[in-house]
A and B are shown apart, each in its own frame.
Chain A
Amino acid sequence: MSVKVSMNVNGKAVSAEVPERTLLVSFLRETLNMTGTHVGCDTAQCGACTIHLNGRAIKSCNILAMQAEGGNVTTIEGLANADGTLHPMQEAFRQNHGLQCGFCTPGMVMSAVDLVKNTPKPTEEQIRELMDGNICRCTGYHNIVKAIAAGATSMAANP
């Protein structure tokens, strides 16, 4: 049994026949071969699979591809400019050593961009509270929080 699913991913229309039970994250990684979005816990706790669906950050391991049918999806691959210049939040993670092993980073960055969109000038406390849906197994939160604060400033300067 399969079903046709169509959506817009990073500005490009995509479509495929997949089994009904296909998760959005499997559709991205296995059908579209876009492996930037990671699967960490697969139980909607760690946030490594965070993507944007219609402009809101969600966990792509916890929804079906069919729930995103007709929607607009942005993944970590769609964040940088076409010429390869990093998004201000990606650049801030790089500058502040916000990556350690890098596994949680795509989810952290996607979640952070959504955070700053809804809370443009977050305090350190707000960042720590509002990033509670993303877990770093290296437990390197200090630099991640620093990176998000810097990224917020830089996003405000480059809207």
Chain B
Amino acid sequence: MYQFKFQKAKSVAEAFAGLGKDGDAKLLAGGQSLIAAMKLRLSQPSALIDLGDIAELRHIKVETGTVTIGAMTTHATVAASAEVKKALPALAMLAGSIGDRQVRNQGTIGGSIANNDPAADYPAACLGLGATISTNKRKISADAFFKGMYETALDAGEIIISVSFAIPKRAAYVKFKNPASRFAIVGVLVADFGSSARVAVTGAGPGVFRIAEMEKALAAKFAPESVANIKVPAEGLNSDLHAQADYRAHLITVLAQRAVAAALT
């Protein structure tokens, strides 16, 4: 790891001021991706601004129609939250499927979506559950937030405060995971909002994406057979030693059916 300066921010304002002082500074949330990337020298910020002590960024709030999670809330906290399990069980399950127990105890939702790893789980939850990302400057819809591989709509100096998920009638997330890293080779989140439906796919492409044709079919009838014959073209999907693009394309249809079936049980 290259040397860097370190600052512990006591508030969002202090973190913002720190970012303003150094254009190559980065925010440090749980660090479960960033520290690993820095060890490999894939990332070399001049300074880290640690958000770990900002208590106001750790919260869970369930209101009519929405579940809001503070940016520094860990995956383990979301997975174990009785409120989240009751209001939006698919989100608690998704959080409980990230990485392993130790990673879930340290990794955060804000860190995960700011990093936007193409195989991460939370981007699928944000996109599939029509989330709104609140920052220190504005509110961004998930549809506008994720910009492809490791890129987001966040500007320099912009800090995620919380993520609000719309509570659907029913939803489920099913992933086919890499057994070593536990990242999604393909993960599909389906959500039934009554008159509409959303289908978000992670792991398969250069970034999380929706499948309009499946959403239309599920809005008409929320059942596994509605998506059984909807194929996604392999072109543009990821190919690596774990799975070729055509296999990932095949998995999308299979997992979408399983997710719909899981949402219905």
Q: Which bucket holds chain B's interface residue count?
A: 20 to 34
Distance to closest chain B CB from A102 (angstroms)? 20
Contact: A62 with B50, CB < 8 Å? no
Distance to closest chain A CB from B61 (angstroms)? 22
Given the interface pairs A56-B105, A66-B8, the reply to whether A133 lies near B99 with Cβ below 8 Å is yes
Given the interface pairs A59-B102, A62-B106, the reply to whether A69 lies near B36 with Cβ below 8 Å is no
How would you classify the secondary structure of chain B's contact residues: helix, strand, loop or mixed?
Answer: mixed
Contact: A21 with B50, CB < 8 Å? no
User: Which of B1-59 touch A at CB < 8 Å?
Assistant: 1-6, 8, 28, 30-32, 35-36, 38-39, 48, 50, 52
Which of chain B's residues have a CB closer than 8 A to the CB of A53? 105-106
Of all chain B residues, the one with the shortest Cβ separation from A52 is B105
Contact: A20 with B99, CB < 8 Å? no
Contact: B3 with A44, CB < 8 Å? no
Kindly state the separation between the CA atoms of A62 and B181 in the bound complex, as whole angstroms.
Answer: 14
- Extra inter-chain contacts (13) besides given A3-B6, A21-B3, A62-B103, CB under 8 Å: A21-B1, A21-B4, A44-B32, A44-B36, A44-B102, A56-B76, A56-B105, A62-B36, A63-B31, A63-B35, A67-B28, A67-B50, A115-B101
Instruction: List residues of chain A with CB under 8 Å of any chain B CB.
Output: 1, 3, 19-21, 23, 42-45, 47, 50, 53, 56-59, 62-64, 66-67, 69, 111, 114-115, 118, 130, 132-134
